[in-house]
Structure 1
Amino acid sequence: MVSGKQLADFGYKAFSSSMLLLTVYGGYLCAVRYHRLLQRRRERQAAAGPDS
């Protein structure tokens, strides 16, 4: 039989793990967005020409 403490410990670990995964995924999304922003900026500068 599972005690209340064991159940609470499992719930805490599951919650902590899901929060960690969400944080890592959020960081990944931010990094991808930032990379695309820089890529578009480089494309615009290249299209404007070397004199600008």
Structure 2
Amino acid sequence: MSFLFPSYFSRFLMLSTKRLADVGYRVFSGSMMLLTLYGGYLCAMRGYRYMQRQKQLQLVAQNQNIDSEIVKD
């Protein structure tokens, strides 16, 4: 096989595949980090909306209690 590829070419090919694997790993790791951040953002927003909804429901319940007491009088 060495007669088809000179030794410098095989070294170059080995370096380029190593670099390609390194770049691929970094791109994959970066995309996983972005997905993790995005997932955290979605969870935080869902929690925020849940808390806002609970506050709204509490206000509605308080207003209904006040209205029913006014009607009783």
Q: Calculate the aligned-residue CA RMSD, in Å.
A: 1.7
Q: CA deviation at 1:15?
A: 0.1
Q: Radius of gyration: which is bigger?
A: 2
Identity over aligned residues, as a percent?
A: 53
1:36 — aligned with what? 49
Given candidates 13, 17, 41, the residue that maps to 2:30 is: 17
* RCO higher in structure (CA 8 A, sep ≥6): 1
2:59 — aligned with what? 46
Amino acid at match of 1:42: K
What residue ranges of structure 2 are gaps of 5+ in the alignment? Answer: 1-11, 66-73
1:5 — aligned with what? 18
Q: CA deviation at 1:6?
A: 0.2
Q: CA deviation at 1:19?
A: 0.2
Q: TM-score, normalised by structure 1?
A: 0.89
What residue ranges of structure 1 are gaps of 5+ in the alignment? Answer: none
For residues 10 and 49 of structure 1, the distance between their equivalents in structure 2, rounded to whole angstroms, comes to 59
